[in-house]
Amino acid sequence: MNEPLYGTQNAHCTPLGPLSAPLHRATTVAQPDAETVRLLGTGQRKGEFYQRVGHPNCWQFESLAAAREGADGAVAFGSGMAAMSAAILAHVRAFDRVLIAQEIYGGTSAFALQDLVRFGVTVDRFSSLDLASLKTALNKPTALVVFESPINPTLRVADIDAIVALARAAKAKTIFDGTFAPPPIQRALDQGVDMVVHSATKFYGGHSDVLAGFVAGAHASLLPIEAFRRRTGGILAPDPAWLLLRSFATLDLRIAAAQSAAAEIALGLRAEVASGRLQTVIYPGAADHPDRALVLRQMGGGGTMLSFVVPGGLIGAKAVFNRFEVIARAPSLGSVESLASLPAYSTHAPLTPQQRNEAGIEDGLLRIAVGLEGAPRLLADIRHSLG
Ligand code: PLP
């Protein structure tokens, strides 16, 4: 039996000696004899051999990620998009049909609509907030259903249990992008999704210095992804893998601190809504969130992302955005730094104002990915920026 050539959660990586993992940069490793080369080359034995096939720092990160996600294993890549595209491509063939949620990361949509279709795969959309639309869409044979939650930037929450049940009944596999709320906030594999993808560039890296991604799930789902990675070469490199190992030690602490700051800021901004300086504050952990029941059922907290709508549409939002002094005007999330995004000018710029409105994204909406500066400093920055 071939051993999986990715990290599994049973692999033990407690350091004995140095308290940070040694960095293994070697691209190739000399072997004692022909038989060892045969076993390693055919994948019958797992071990250091050639870096594109696997290497210790990648396996160590995969093992930790798999354990956290509650998966058999994880397959790590050089970016979140490399992980997402590999997960999809490894599970479809020409003439298959894939359902992609309308409310999904723009890079995933672009890959599906511009690349996947070139290989004879049909891509159809559904709304992850409208189960009836998924039910109808699943009337035709479907290989994969791809969705995410919470949704960017409205922070609405999709019903993971219901989407999994509908997909299963139609014999479609599910791929869930869990980037916005990693465990312990959300554990989508426990809810039955087949594969979870993360942009590890976000929380898992956490310091704005690593680009990475991974897919976690059961061995049966991961084996074709690992084989695809070996053939196409998108494996996570040793240096970013090492940085991810460093980041792992503080992952829980970072998530907990940023989440409690986000909850405090959301609460604090109620006064700004009452005074009319803000139209709305959207935070999944808030009692008035439109998907409150789902949040309580499938999230272990409100997460670290919050959005708010300022009066004055795009002009108002730009003015507030430009005045931030602590919060950085930068894409991304899940970092030690708090980051602001103006969706009408960035992630959702390709949409017309009407399309944005239909998607619930008002032009005055700003999204904050809360970091570790502390709620008082961040609240003060937002209040000062409101002018
Ligand atoms: N999924 C989500 C939800 C994201 O926000 C991102 C990046 O912003 C990605 C996937 C892609 O990840 P990466 O930038 O690491 O390729």
Kindly state if the Cβ of 347 falls inside 6 Å of ligand 1.
no
Are 263 and 300 in contact, with CB atoms under 8 Å apart? no
In a domain, 1, yes or no: no
Boundary residue ending a domain (248, 273, 300): 248
Q: Measure CA of the first residue to CA of the last residue in the chain; give whole Å.
A: 65
Domain count, the chain: 2
In a domain, 301, yes or no: yes
Instruction: Dig out the tokens for 55 from the structure.
Output: 């290497």
- β-strand partners of 217: 73, 195
Are 347 and 341 in contact, with CB atoms under 8 Å apart? yes
Taking the C-alpha atoms of residue 47 and residue 60, their distance in angstroms, rounded to an integer, is 13
In a domain, 192, yes or no: yes
> 14-64, pLDDT tens digit by residue?
555 778 889 999 999 999 999 999 999 998 999 999 999 999 999 999 999
Ligand 1 centroid–CA 104 distance in Å is: 10
What secondary structure letter does DSSP report for 202?
Answer: T
**Which residue range(s) make up the domain with 347?**
251-385
Kindly state if the Cβ of 81 falls inside 6 Å of ligand 1.
yes
Exposure string for 64-88, b = 16+ CB within 10 A, e = fewer: bbbbbbebbbbbbbbbbbbbbbbbb
Q: What are the residues whose beta carbons fall under 8 Å from the beta carbon of 74, sequence distance 6 or more? A: 6, 7, 61, 62, 63, 65, 66, 214, 215, 216, 222
- β-strand partners of 124: 99
Quick one: 96 and 209 in the same domain? yes
Quick one: 331 and 351 in the same domain? yes
Quick one: 86 and 175 in the same domain? yes
Quick one: 241 and 344 in the same domain? no
Kindly state if the Cβ of 240 falls inside 6 Å of ligand 1.
no
Quick one: 290 and 148 in the same domain? no
The answer to whether the pTM exceeds 0.85 is yes
What secondary structure letter does DSSP report for 175?
Answer: E
User: Which ligand 1 atom sits closest to the C-alpha of 82?
Assistant: 16
In a domain, 140, yes or no: yes
Give the residue carrying structure tokens 């959207």.
Answer: 282
Ligand 1 centroid–CA 208 distance in Å is: 13
Boundary residue ending a domain (215, 248, 281): 248
In a domain, 2, yes or no: no
Quick one: 229 and 317 in the same domain? no
Quick one: 244 and 96 in the same domain? yes
- β-strand partners of 200: none
Instruction: Dig out the tokens for 354 from the structure.
Output: 């009407």
Quick one: 294 and 355 in the same domain? yes
Whole-number pLDDT of residue 194 = 98
Quick one: 186 and 332 in the same domain? no
Ligand 1 centroid–CA 90 distance in Å is: 19
> 85-136, pLDDT tens digit by residue?
999 999 999 999 999 999 999 999 999 999 999 999 999 999 999 999 999 9
Strands annotated E in 89-170: 97-101, 122-126, 144-148
Q: What are the residues whose beta carbons fall under 8 Å from the beta carbon of 172, sequence distance 6 or more? A: 99, 138, 142, 143, 144, 145
In a domain, 277, yes or no: yes
Q: Residue 88, by phi and psi: left (phi above 0), alpha (psi -120 to 50) or beta? A: alpha
Quick one: 186 and 65 in the same domain? yes
Whole-number pLDDT of residue 16 = 57
Q: What is the CATH number of the domain that holds 351?
A: 3.90.1150.10
Boundary residue ending a domain (248, 276, 293): 248
Q: What is the CATH number of the domain that holds 226?
A: 3.40.640.10
In a domain, 275, yes or no: yes
Taking the C-alpha atoms of residue 48 and residue 56, their distance in angstroms, rounded to an integer, is 7
The amino acid at residue 197 is V
Residues of the chain with pLDDT under 70: 1, 10-16
Quick one: 156 and 49 in the same domain? yes
The amino acid at residue 316 is G
User: Which ligand 1 atom sits closest to the C-alpha of 211?
Assistant: 15
In a domain, 45, yes or no: yes
Kindly state if the Cβ of 63 falls inside 6 Å of ligand 1.
no
Kindly state if the Cβ of 79 falls inside 6 Å of ligand 1.
yes
Quick one: 188 and 104 in the same domain? yes
Ligand 1 centroid–CA 45 distance in Å is: 33
Question: Of 60, 1, 365, which is closest to residue 214 (Cα–Cα)?
Answer: 60
